[in-house]
Structure 1
């Protein structure tokens, strides 16, 4: 996938949409170690490197992808081009959300909904108020109706309600409409009749439109470089009738986690730290991880990580997180904005 995440956050199906699948990657078969006859993994690290046993623990932490293996997937406002042209004040209001949103905030918002079981509208209203995002001009949107599309998962619903709350405070008649996956809602956004705004993800959407416009075999335009990926997305958006606001610092992308207890024991903050400290790791993820360049193969080739075993679980789901917490795997594929990563 270039990139992307799993179907949860970006729609099943598309390269970046089907997401995590693309981010998964491959060398070796499920349940097997990936080493060659010389005893050296494809990443080049010595198979004799000290093996680090998993350490159980309830709290999970994401190790920083310091070599940018994953494609950027920052949250970004996507707006119907005609709507943006007719209402120049709309995107700046959405950009105020981007300016206040980072990954830690997104994790906390997701925890409120997915773990604490609060409703997305309530969580959105509370956060907009606490972040001081109420616009100074409460009449800017008077007489203007805006429908915000949300994909069928809680993070998208919360982001859509945040956009709606800010717009309502500016006088808009704003509402949130759930329209399923990207294949369903993107044509509606491009047409601008049913919905006019959607909270989107930079890398995933860039690849989705790229494949749609340039064909299934088109060279990837999304990467670990945010500026270049946004530039590519902007150009593609011009071709299909979309405009974009400023990307936030918040990302919902594939990531790799260990327990905090394991990270503390080995003084780890990055994937490079892990590669330098430990070999013989046990990796857990969806089955596709052994076949996708942004998962096992990428970890081996980019970081030199070595694995003694791969456990086929799920992509960022409860099986992988439980296996980490119970000490059954060392490293697991998660989503960077997962509410279970919250520290409190």
Structure 2
């Protein structure tokens, strides 16, 4: 599967590249996704070692469009969106309504929602209202009563999902409202104390945040590339914190790696495994300066996929510098984010 990216927006180097004891780097400090500190080591191939690199030469190929290569060997820790709920508020009508959102929300949907808010400058409430109507989320729900406050982190993606949650809860009979609170260190205590009742969360990031909070900064990771196992760990950790959870959605906001469409077409690649099979030399990797030392960036690509790089170009994390380097033919492969509003389904 490939996803086309038309442009870019700056983000913190969040997913699988920073400690989850903080929600993001100081440069942004707001968006939540998974981490590599203390996380499980990248998986090897089924034979117990990384596959051999290909023999072809794969120098950068300039192009106006970028495509995301599928992480088919599951290098990255999962970071699917999941509703986090104050345990005392997790009634059947409330959980049923939130699960209805999770059942339809996809990564492509997330990309489209982010594009409308971040790129097209529409408001989160208006975009959420359109999405609820389009997906029929207000139909067939009942049984709710009382006020529910849906908290949100201070970035557009989370705010839009919070608005979708609130509209769906309204349809179930609740009197729902939204409140943007701040980063995880601020909104999570509000959630556990019941000052807000629901927050859209990220499976891998929250698992490791709670893990380190409960077991210490050096605790072995409980989040991984296995969604079911990570949700099981999250549920167990959440119980100690007074939290319950709905179903995880298919929608995820995590690290991804892109090439130009021209490069993908020339080498007939749509996955990172296909890239490794096709390319034995010439690859130039672009990303944030930390990438060569982070297990879910360059070392993970080398160990899990057997990729070999001619060089690394230190730029930014999924932002305009990395995207420009790819489009201008100065890099073959670059770090992007799976829910970036500049991406389009493809």
**TM-score under structure 2 length normalisation:** 0.86
Partner of residue 35, structure 1:
none
Q: Could you tell me whether the CA contact under 8 Å between 2:150 and 2:177 is conserved in 1?
A: yes
Q: Deviation string for 1:282-341 (max 9, x for gaps)?
A: 111111111110000000011111111111111112221222222221111111111111
Partner of residue 131, structure 2:
127
Q: Could you tell me whether the CA contact under 8 Å between 1:6 and 1:315 is conserved in 2?
A: no
Q: Deviation string for 1:159-187 (max 9, x for gaps)?
A: 11110111122232211111111111111
Q: 1:178/1:108 Cα in 2 relative to 1: closer, same or farther (>3 Å)?
A: same
Q: Distance in 1 between matches of 2:127 and 2:244?
A: 27
Alignment of 1:165-244 (within 5 A): 165-193=167-195, 195-244=196-245
Q: Distance in 1 between matches of 2:163 and 2:68?
A: 27
Q: Could you tell me whether the CA contact under 8 Å between 2:14 and 2:31 is conserved in 1?
A: no
Q: Distance in 1 between matches of 2:313 and 2:33?
A: 20
Q: 1:21/1:240 Cα in 2 relative to 1: closer, same or farther (>3 Å)?
A: closer
Pairwise CA distance, 1:70: 0.5
Equivalent of 1:54 in 37, 48, 60: 60
Aligned length: 319
Q: 1:6/1:149 Cα in 2 relative to 1: closer, same or farther (>3 Å)?
A: farther
Q: Distance in 2 between matches of 1:264 and 1:59?
A: 11
Pairwise CA distance, 1:240: 0.5
Partner of residue 32, structure 1:
none
Q: 1:157/1:18 Cα in 2 relative to 1: closer, same or farther (>3 Å)?
A: closer
Partner of residue 36, structure 2:
22
For structure 2, the 5+ residue unaligned runs are 1-12, 40-48
Pairwise CA distance, 1:136: 2.3
Partner of residue 76, structure 1:
82
RMSD: 2.7
**TM-score under structure 1 length normalisation:** 0.86
Q: Could you tell me whether the CA contact under 8 Å between 1:4 and 1:18 is conserved in 2?
A: no
Q: Aligned to 2:82, what secondary structure does the other structure show?
A: strand
Q: Aligned to 1:265, what secondary structure does the other structure show?
A: helix
For structure 1, the 5+ residue unaligned runs are 26-41
Q: Could you tell me whether the CA contact under 8 Å between 2:15 and 2:34 is conserved in 1?
A: yes
Partner of residue 271, structure 2:
270
Q: Aligned to 1:22, what secondary structure does the other structure show?
A: coil
Q: Aligned to 2:249, what secondary structure does the other structure show?
A: coil
